[in-house]
Amino acid sequence: MKFHLKKTISLALILGIVSLSYASYQSGGYLPENEVVNTTSIIGLPPSNNSIAFLNDKAISEATFSLDKNSQEYIKAIHDASNDSDIHIADFSKAFGQKLSKEDTPAIYNLLQKAIVDANNAKNIDKDYYKRKRPFIFFDKNPCDLSEDPSSYSYPSGHTTRAWTYGLILTELKPQNAIEILKVANGKGQSRVICGVHWQSDIEAAKMVATINFTILQTNEQFKKDFKNAQKETSKR
């Protein structure tokens, strides 16, 4: 999966999305603070409460709150609510065609862990800017994971940003498995809707944030070096 880097980066510069961050900066990624991607102008406002798009968000979320709590979808949503990145990386193993972990694929693991710091920095700018309430707050319901912070914001989805970032990188490493890999990433995003902590439009915005951030990362020299090291760990499947 190749991206049109020059076109995307030009658009980013025109719209001023490589800019000062409004959220607190987390170090440990590839991008210095002054290169953190600000995608607020790209993802735009979340749907307003009187819009057709929000009616769609509401209908989807209302349906998920009535799901059987013993269903496979709900059980998966509880699993996907984890904040443990090791769990989420391992969940891509079957689709990727080999075991992914700090011990088995250290170069791939390092690449994913560093890239997600940059994605999180970008996502946090949007969350702090738009301050959208989560569905379980709006409907006064319980999320699938009762430890969810009711004061945190919904738009875009952080878990989906992470899953889509992992998916895009792993797809670039092994494009022949792209469909299987992105199915995993997409499923993790949908789990957040089932869990009651995100609207459907949060998920779509998160995919865009992850895609833009991934495109910018491909211009970073250290990312490119780490990517080449990660390629050495990939099997042919």
Please indicate, yes or no, if residue 236 is contained in any of the structural domains: no
Active site residues: 159, 192, 198, 202
Specify the number of domains making up the chain.
1
Question: Which H or E element spans position 225?
Answer: helix 221-231
Percent of the chain with pLDDT over 70: 89
Say whether the peptide bond before residue 156 is cis (omega within 30 degrees of 0). yes
Is the pLDDT score of 160 beyond 60? yes
* 3-state per-residue secondary structure call for 78-122: HHHCCCCHHHHHHCCHHHHCCCCCCCCCHHHHHHHHHHHHHHHHH
Is the pLDDT score of 17 beyond 70? no
Is the pLDDT score of 110 beyond 90? yes
Residue 23's pLDDT band (boundaries 50, 70, 90)?
A: low
Give the CATH number of the domain where residue 192 resides. 1.20.144.10
Looking at residue 70, its pLDDT comes to 95
Looking at residue 11, its pLDDT comes to 45
Looking at residue 237, its pLDDT comes to 60
Please indicate, yes or no, if residue 79 is contained in any of the structural domains: yes
Please indicate, yes or no, if residue 201 is contained in any of the structural domains: yes
Please indicate, yes or no, if residue 111 is contained in any of the structural domains: yes
pTM equals 0.89
Is the pLDDT score of 24 beyond 90? no
Per-residue pLDDT of 44-76, as tens digits, reads 999 999 999 999 999 999 999 999 999 999 999
Mean pLDDT of 102-107: 97
Looking at residue 215, its pLDDT comes to 95
Mean pLDDT of 145-170: 95
Please indicate, yes or no, if residue 182 is contained in any of the structural domains: yes
Is the pLDDT score of 177 beyond 90? yes
Structural domain of 70: 5-231
Please indicate, yes or no, if residue 163 is contained in any of the structural domains: yes
Distance, CA of 38 to CA of 232 (rounded, Å) = 32
Please indicate, yes or no, if residue 237 is contained in any of the structural domains: no
Mean pLDDT, the chain, integer: 91
The backbone torsions φ and ψ at residue 18, rounded to the nearest 5 degrees and listed phi first, read -95, 100
Looking at residue 209, its pLDDT comes to 97
Mean pLDDT of 22-38: 88
Mean pLDDT of 188-208: 97
Residue 138's pLDDT band (boundaries 50, 70, 90)?
A: very high
Distance, CA of 157 to CA of 204 (rounded, Å) = 9
Which of 184, 193, 187, 196 is CA-nearest to residue 145? 196
Which of 163, 174, 152, 154 is CA-nearest to residue 211? 163
Please indicate, yes or no, if residue 27 is contained in any of the structural domains: yes
